[in-house]
Structure 1
C-alpha cells in the first residue's frame, strides 16, 4: 500500500469509527500527526510485520466460518483436515491477519495491550461471557510483558469454579486433533475486586485483551477515555536511519522505542527502513545510539507530532571514521511546536 492509500483509510474508516465510538473526533488529530502515523503504518504494512505466525488471521478466519458456515470454500470438505493455511482458506486467513493493522478497533486494542496500562478484566470478562452466552466466540489478543510478543486465540466456552473463571480457548498453534483429547484454558482469579490472570497463558502471555468491537477502546483499561485518546492519537515520535547501521533509541524512562519485527516479515527495506517509534506525547528526552563500520555514511531522521502539530522534524547526516564507529545523541523534544528542540552529540 502507498502512504496515500493508508491516509485514505484513516480518513474514511478511522474517522467513521471514532465518530461512532463518540470518544474522539478525527478532526482533533492534525494533519502533521496523521502524516507521522501513516509513515509508521506504511512500514508495518509493507514489511509484513503482521505475518508472524498468522495466528490472528487463523482465529478470525475460524470465527468467520463458525458464524457463517456457507462461507467455507466448497473445495474444503472438512475444516479440521486443513493442515496449513493454503488457498482458498489461506486467502481468508491473510485478509484477517493483515486487516489488524488498519482496522481502528483492532489496532487500538493491540496498542493498549502493548501500552502498559492496567487492564480492566472485569469489564472484558463480562463482554466475553456475554458473547459466548449469545452463541458466539470471543477473540482475544495476548502479549508477553515486558518483552512484547503477541498471540491470538478464540474463547468458545467458560466455567465458573469457586473464585475462578476459566475460559476454554482455541489456540491455532495446536492441530484440530489435539482438541479431541485436550482443552486449552486461560484462568482468571475473580475473588477480588479486580480479576487477574492466575498465571500467564502458555507460560508466557501475561496480558489479555478482548478485541470484540462492542467494547469501546477506553473500556479495555482502567483509565479515562482522554488518557486513552492521548496515548493512541495524542502523538507519536519516529526515529530512523537510511543506511545499514544499528539503531537504538531509549526514552527518559529508560524504555526502548519499539521496532516492528516478525519471523516472516520482508527483509526488503522501505524508504523508512530501520524505524523506531513510540505512540503518546512525544515530548521528553531521548538517547539515540547509531553503530556501524568505518566509512559508512548515514542519515538520521527524527519526526514527531502531537495534537498541537509538528514538534520535531530533523535530519542529520554523519560518517563513521576509523576511530569512532558508534555515535550517541541526546535529543530533547518540546511539548509544542513553539518549543525549542535540542540535539547534542555525546
Structure 2
C-alpha cells in the first residue's frame, strides 16, 4: 500500500495500483501525523484509521482519528484541544490499540484509548521538546523519547516511568538502535548511548546528515547505523562488544603461588643449612674467568691486561658480596621469585609431603623444608652471578653514567613484561634505583609480575601503567587481603621513570624496573647483549669500580711509555694481550684528569696507529686514534689531555704538554714528591726524564715561594 498527500488531498493505492481511498478534506487530512505506522484498525470495523491534527489557530485543533472505511475519510473522534508534538498508534491498554501523544509545550505524554478517552498522563521536565516513538525500554511496548538541548527524557509506555539524563552536547536527533540503547546525533558525532546517557561508541561527523536510520543491512545479526548525506550513504557498525572485566593476564595468585614465608637474609629469622652470608672468592673467580671474561673480551675493543681483569674480578666480588647491591647476604629475592615461577608452572617438588600443593603451603625454608631453602639459594646464587643478568641489572636498573641512560626504554620494558606474562604466565621483574635520582641510596630487588594494565586506550597514549606483582618480602598469607602493584609514571623522561606501589613500601626508593632473568629474549632480540651493551658495561665497571682508567695501545714498529699528570708511570702488562706485545700497551687504574705524556719510540720505520681510551670517574673521557710515520730510533712525544669536566671530550696534541715547574713559586709539594720519585726510579715527570739537577731546581723553586 502507498499514499500521497498534498494540501488536504489524500490518495491510497493498493499494491496492484488500484485506488483504495481518495479523500479531499483539509480539516481531516491537511496535517497528517504519521504514515510510518500505516493504517491501524483501532475500532474493530475492519477498516484502518489514520492520525491527523489541526494546528492551534484552528477551532478544531487537536489530535484526530480519521476513519477510511468505504473509501472515504470521516472523522471518528478528536482529542485535544492542544496541538500534539508527536503521536502514534500503539498498544496502550492491555494490548488494545490506541494512541500515544507527546505535547511540546507542556512536557506531557498522554495515552488515549480506541474511543478517544484519556487513559493516563505523565509529566516530564522537558518543555518545547522534540520527540520520537520507539520501543527502547525493552518491554515490547512503544515508548516516547523527548529531547531538548542536551537533555533527554524517556517515558516507558507500559509503566509510565520517566528516565531523564543529560549528555555533553546539544542533540539534533534521536534514533532507535536496539532495546535499551539509542542513537543520538550531535553537531560533532553520531553516538550510541545507553539509557543513562553513557556513551558506548561514537563516529565523528564532518558535516550534518540529512537522515539517520538503523538496521541489519547485511543480515549478520548486528545492527548498523546508516547515515545519509546529500550525496552519499555511510554505514557504520558500532563497536559495542562488552568490556571484559579487568582479569589478570595470568592465573598466578600470590596468595597461592607465593611462598608461605617471607624473604630472609643470612642472619634473619631462618637459619638455612648453607652459608648464605658470603661466597668463596675462588667460586666467583672461576665463574668470572669461564663466563664473564670471554664475554668482556669478545664485546669490547679494549685490550684487557690480566692485572686489570683481576682488578675487575676483585672489585666485582667485593661489590656483590658486601655493597648495597649485595646478592649474597641481603636476601633471597632472586631465588624465591625464580622458584615461585617454577612451582607455578610445574608444581611443587614431589618430594614434599602430600598436603603441600602450592608454594603457599611451605611454611619455612628450614627444617623438613631445608631442601626448598637450598634450591632457592642455588637459584639465587647462580642467576645473580650470571654475567648476562649482571649486565641487565647494571644497564637497566642502575646505570651510572649518562651515556648508558639511552639503553633504557620504559614503554618497551612494560611491553616486554606483558609479553612474557602472556607467554609464560609470569615475568621476573627487577627494580632498582638510578644514581641520577638516588646517588647515595642504591638498591636492587626482584619481583614476579602477573598482570599489566595501562591507564588509557593503549600503552602509546598512556601516562601511567600498573604491574601487579608478587613481592617475596611478604608471605603468601599477606596477599589474601592485600596486594602489591607497581605504578609506573611513563610520562617522565625515559631516563627517569618513576616506580611507586601505591605507598606500600617502595615509594621513591626504586626508580627503575625491567624484565630480567633467563627468559629475557627481549624486545630487542639478540642485540640485548651486543658489543655496545657489554662495552658500556665494561666502561661502567672500569670508571666506577676501578676509579677510572687510561689504556693506550699501539702496533709495530713502535714501543710506548706514558706518564700520568702526577708523575706515575703507566704500567706494561706482563704478557701479550690479544697478541699485542707488552711494550705496545700501557695502562693505569684510578687514573686522574690532566695531561698524559706519551713517548713513542720507533723500533723500525713505517706507519703506526696509537689508540688512546680513558674515562675518569667524575671527570671527562677520551677515545682517540692517532696515525703517524716514524723511523727507527726516532722518539715522538704526544700529550693526551683528559678534562676534569665530565661533559668535555679529551684532546691529543703534539709534543710535551708541559715542562718541569722550575720557576720560583711554581712547583707544588706534589711536584717536589713527583720529581723525587721519578729520579729514584730513573723515570719521567711531566714527560721529562728527571736528572739530579732537575730535582734540585724544582726544590729550589718550591723553597723560593
Q: Is the shorter-chain TM-score for this pair beyond 0.5, marking a shared fold? A: yes
Contact 2:496 2:512 (8 Å CA) reproduced: no
Q: Please show how residues 1-346 of structure 1 align to structure 2 within 5 Å.
A: 5-14=283-292, 18=295, 24-25=298-299, 30-32=304-306, 33-44=308-319, 49-50=326-327, 51-71=329-349, 73-75=351-353, 77=356, 78-86=358-366, 87-112=370-395, 113-116=397-400, 117-118=405-406, 119-144=408-433, 145-146=438-439, 147-162=441-456, 163=462, 164-189=464-489, 197=497, 199-201=499-501, 202-203=506-507, 204-215=509-520, 219=524, 226-234=531-539, 236-237=541-542, 277-278=545-546, 282-283=549-550, 311-312=587-588, 331-332=592-593
Over 3 Å counting, the alpha-carbon distance change for 1:207 and 1:45 in structure 2 is closer
Superposed CA deviations along residues 325-345 of structure 1, whole A, max 9, x for unmatched, are xxxxx94596569999xx959
| Gap regions ≥5 residues in structure 2 | 1-278, 457-461, 552-569, 597-611, 615-637, 641-668, 674-705
Distance in 2 separating the partners of 1:218 and 1:339: 44
Shift of 1:149: 1.5
Q: Secondary structure at the match of 1:30?
A: coil
Shift of 1:133: 0.8
* Higher RCO (Cα < 8 Å, 6 or more apart): 1
Distance in 2 separating the partners of 1:137 and 1:157: 8
Contact 1:155 1:168 (8 Å CA) reproduced: yes
Distance in 2 separating the partners of 1:55 and 1:169: 13
Distance in 1 separating the partners of 2:300 and 2:490: 37
Contact 1:140 1:211 (8 Å CA) reproduced: yes
Distance in 1 separating the partners of 2:586 and 2:346: 46
Contact 2:430 2:444 (8 Å CA) reproduced: yes
Q: Secondary structure at the match of 1:141?
A: strand
Q: CA RMSD in A?
A: 4.7
Distance in 2 separating the partners of 1:30 and 1:218: 31
Distance in 2 separating the partners of 1:88 and 1:193: 45
Distance in 2 separating the partners of 1:92 and 1:224: 28
Contact 1:160 1:166 (8 Å CA) reproduced: yes
Over 3 Å counting, the alpha-carbon distance change for 1:84 and 1:313 in structure 2 is same
Superposed CA deviations along residues 198-232 of structure 1, whole A, max 9, x for unmatched, are 54342121111210445478959xx9955533332
Distance in 2 separating the partners of 1:216 and 1:15: 22
Superposed CA deviations along residues 7-40 of structure 1, whole A, max 9, x for unmatched, are 4423443478x59xxx954896634343222222
Distance in 1 separating the partners of 2:479 and 2:485: 12
Equivalent residues, number: 270
Shift of 1:80: 1.1
Contact 1:131 1:138 (8 Å CA) reproduced: yes
Contact 2:429 2:514 (8 Å CA) reproduced: yes
Superposed CA deviations along residues 233-281 of structure 1, whole A, max 9, x for unmatched, are 24744xxxxxxxxxxxxx8xxxxx5xxxxxxxxxxxxxxxxxxx258x6
Contact 2:431 2:446 (8 Å CA) reproduced: yes
Over 3 Å counting, the alpha-carbon distance change for 1:45 and 1:126 in structure 2 is closer
Over 3 Å counting, the alpha-carbon distance change for 1:226 and 1:81 in structure 2 is same
**Structure with the larger helix share:** 1
Instruction: Compare CA radii of gyration and give the structure with the larger one.
Output: 2
Distance in 1 separating the partners of 2:352 and 2:360: 14
Q: Secondary structure at the match of 1:134?
A: helix
Distance in 2 separating the partners of 1:210 and 1:199: 14
Distance in 1 separating the partners of 2:477 and 2:317: 39
Distance in 2 separating the partners of 1:69 and 1:29: 48
